[in-house]
A and B are shown apart, each in its own frame.
Chain A
Amino acid sequence: MKRKQVIPAIIAAFFILFPLIVKSDYYQHLVILALMWVVIGGSWNLLAGYTGQVSFGHAVFFGIGAYTAGILTTKVGISAWWGMAFGGFTGALVGLLIGWICFRLRGPYFALATIAAGEIFRLIATNWESLTDGMVGILIIQSFRSKLPYYYLALALAVASIWVFDLVMKSKLGFYFVSIREDQDAAESLGINATLYKNISLLISSFFTGMAGAFYMNYMAFIDPEVVFSLHYISIMAILVGIIGGVATIWGPAVGAFIMIGIQETFRSALFGLAPKWVSQSHVLVFGLLVIFVILFMANGVVGDWPKIKRLFVRNR
């Protein structure tokens, strides 16, 4: 069984040593973002892929976490790092609120309600200027000049999230989540309090997403409502990460995060400077096309449809 242990070891070593080997700020930044998306995508996957509650409004938790960290600095005067601790909790609190409102709804209606919730919070953040400074956003001073601490923090968060999600899915919680996804009525007859467990799933999901938001505040040092509560750039991105990697898999979101950041940057940089300028405007278009393509042909993502993908290559030999 040596082969099975060598590859993960190599990957682990790569990530641990990465910022020491690759000194470029630009690439470090990309990997940090990707690691952050591993957390967000994994959180979404827990709620949507495993528990079947497809949220289109995950930006809410991200934004709440980010603003928690930011407001703690601008209004309370304490370091935004406290936001990492509190951002998870405020994210989870909002999660409970959203759950209370939205879980009465099933399927697509739940999805729509989460969109509405996301937009409502964005509008509140934009208009409640005394608290959030509205469209001006929040600007703080970065704690570290070098990217290294942020990198390892992001890596730690990503690893922690994957580890927690894996533990959860192997436990009673995990079985209950999937049962609810497959058939909520049957699940109830088997003694599963669906409402309770949906909320637990949401709590975990929103907690981690909130922490990711708080991390973002600390790392980027600037946020505004359009960025952190964005339907397209956060909520839908989370869904894409989940879908492309593979819903209802543990490693899917990790794979998806790196693919999505890779694609996003490839197009945003106009194929790293090799293509004409207008290509850099096209990454949202590529995202849209990707959604269509993946749903039509690869609905279970890279990890989920891996057997299918492998077969494609075998046949071509």
Chain B
Amino acid sequence: MSFFEVKEISKRFGGLMAVGGVSFQVERGEIFGLIGPNGSGKTTIFNLINQYFPLTAGDIFFKDESIKGLKTYKICHLGIGRTFQVVKPLKRMTVLENVVASAFCRVNTFKEAQNLALEMLDFCNLLPDKDKFASSLPIAGRKRLEITRALATKPELLLLDETAAGLNTAELDEAIELIQRIRARGVTIIIVEHIMKVIMTISDRIHAINYGETIAEGTPEEVANDKEVIKAYLGEESYA
């Protein structure tokens, strides 16, 4: 059986079908990319996995068990972590406190939480900033904090939502390197991304959607050359 499966999921908002009958499977240890133009439903899919929005139809399986209808915090406990596209730092807390808070998901004492938090901060190269207020970090730091926080909950599956948006070239390279190191630790990753360079470089497989529906799936090369994908992205940044 597959590690993570999304089966015919749909989400309807009033009259609008934001996501319509999308299915894919993710293997353990993969980096699975999800691409699509603006508004195609990528973040909605994450929100459905996270149970942030209830499913209109379909089902989602994690390690062969359905997670449909579970509360968001339960999903985290089961081992699925996520970052948000519009980052949500806990502003009036320091970077360290942000990560300690999420570390409490797995441990119960402050000492243990702090140790886990420091370990994660070190892994993500945020240790020098640990005592700064989260609100004072620049965008690259905040995105990195999102990831660090999610990592502190010791996820087996990590959902990364547009972690590269707004970063400059150097920051992009750092982000890519971080994601690869995360995978090397054994975390499976589903990444939603807009920026071709990132997603084509690191993904093992890619699933492309447009208007809430699947248009292609395969290796980065296959997807980049797929006619439908090119059509959907016509006029956008092309993979060079």
User: Which residues of A are at the interface with B, using a C-beta cutoff of 8 A?
Assistant: 170-172, 175-176, 178-179, 182-183, 185-194, 248
Q: Which residues of B contact A248 (CB under 8 A)?
A: 92
Q: In the complex the two chains form, what is the Cα distance from A170 to B82 in whole Å?
A: 26
Q: Which residues of A contact B76 (CB under 8 A)?
A: 188-191
- Which of B14-22, B34-42, B104-112, B215-223 makes up part of the contact surface? B104-112
- Taking a contact as CB atoms under 8 Å apart, the answer to whether B101 and A188 are in contact is no
Assuming the A-B contacts A191-B76, A191-B77, A193-B73, are A170 and B110 also in contact, with contact meaning beta carbons closer than 8 angstroms in the complex? yes
- Taking a contact as CB atoms under 8 Å apart, the answer to whether A190 and B153 are in contact is yes
Q: In the complex the two chains form, what is the Cα distance from A219 to B88 in whole Å?
A: 48
Asked whether any CB of chain A lies closer than 8 Å to the CB of B72, the reply is yes
Q: Which residues of B contact A191 (CB under 8 A)?
A: 73, 76-77, 102, 105, 153
Q: In the complex the two chains form, what is the Cα distance from A193 to B76 in whole Å?
A: 10
A-B contact pairs, 15 of them (CB 8 A): A172-B104, A172-B108, A175-B100, A178-B97, A178-B101, A182-B93, A186-B84, A186-B88, A189-B72, A189-B84, A189-B150, A190-B149, A191-B76, A191-B153, A192-B105
Q: In the complex the two chains form, what is the Cα distance from A248 to B81 in whole Å?
A: 29
Whole-angstrom distance between the Cβ of B125 and the nearest chain A Cβ? 21
Report which of B91, B97, B101 forms a contact with A190, defined as CB distance below 8 A.
B101
Assuming the A-B contacts A185-B88, A189-B82, are A175 and B104 also in contact, with contact meaning beta carbons closer than 8 angstroms in the complex? yes
Asked whether any CB of chain A lies closer than 8 Å to the CB of B210, the reply is no
- Taking a contact as CB atoms under 8 Å apart, the answer to whether B88 and A193 are in contact is no
Asked whether any CB of chain A lies closer than 8 Å to the CB of B181, the reply is no
Q: In the complex the two chains form, what is the Cα distance from A175 to B99 in whole Å?
A: 10
Number of A-B contacts (CB under 8 A): 72
Asked whether any CB of chain A lies closer than 8 Å to the CB of B52, the reply is yes
**B35-79 residues at the A interface, CB under 8 angstroms:** 50, 52, 71-73, 76-77
Asked whether any CB of chain A lies closer than 8 Å to the CB of B90, the reply is yes
- Taking a contact as CB atoms under 8 Å apart, the answer to whether B153 and A178 are in contact is no
Q: In the complex the two chains form, what is the Cα distance from A192 to B149 in whole Å?
A: 13
Assuming the A-B contacts A172-B104, A172-B110, A178-B93, are A188 and B73 also in contact, with contact meaning beta carbons closer than 8 angstroms in the complex? yes
A183, closest chain B residue (CB):
B88
Asked whether any CB of chain A lies closer than 8 Å to the CB of B113, the reply is yes
Interface centre among A172, A176, A185 (most CB of B within 10 A): A172
Whole-angstrom distance between the Cβ of A187 and the nearest chain B Cβ? 8
**B117-153 residues at the A interface, CB under 8 angstroms:** 149-150, 153
Whole-angstrom distance between the Cβ of B151 and the nearest chain A Cβ? 11
Assuming the A-B contacts A170-B110, A172-B104, A175-B104, are A194 and B93 also in contact, with contact meaning beta carbons closer than 8 angstroms in the complex? no
Give the top 8 A-B pairs by smallest Cβ distance, nearest first.
A191-B76, A191-B105, A186-B88, A182-B90, A190-B102, A188-B72, A175-B101, A172-B104
Assuming the A-B contacts A175-B97, A191-B77, A193-B71, are A186 and B105 also in contact, with contact meaning beta carbons closer than 8 angstroms in the complex? no
A190, closest chain B residue (CB):
B102
Q: A175-B100, A185-B88, A189-B50 are in contact. List 19 more A-B contacts (CB 8 A).
A: A172-B108, A175-B97, A176-B104, A178-B92, A178-B101, A182-B91, A182-B92, A183-B90, A186-B84, A186-B90, A188-B76, A190-B149, A190-B150, A191-B76, A191-B105, A192-B105, A193-B73, A194-B73, A248-B92
Q: In the complex the two chains form, what is the Cα distance from A179 to B104 in whole Å?
A: 11
Whole-angstrom distance between the Cβ of A213 and the nearest chain B Cβ? 31
Q: Which residues of B contact A183 (CB under 8 A)?
A: 88-91
Interface centre among A185, A190, A193 (most CB of B within 10 A): A190
Whole-angstrom distance between the Cβ of A50 and the nearest chain B Cβ? 11
Report which of B52, B77, B89, B113 forms a contact with A185, defined as CB distance below 8 A.
B52
Q: In the complex the two chains form, what is the Cα distance from A191 to B100 in whole Å?
A: 13
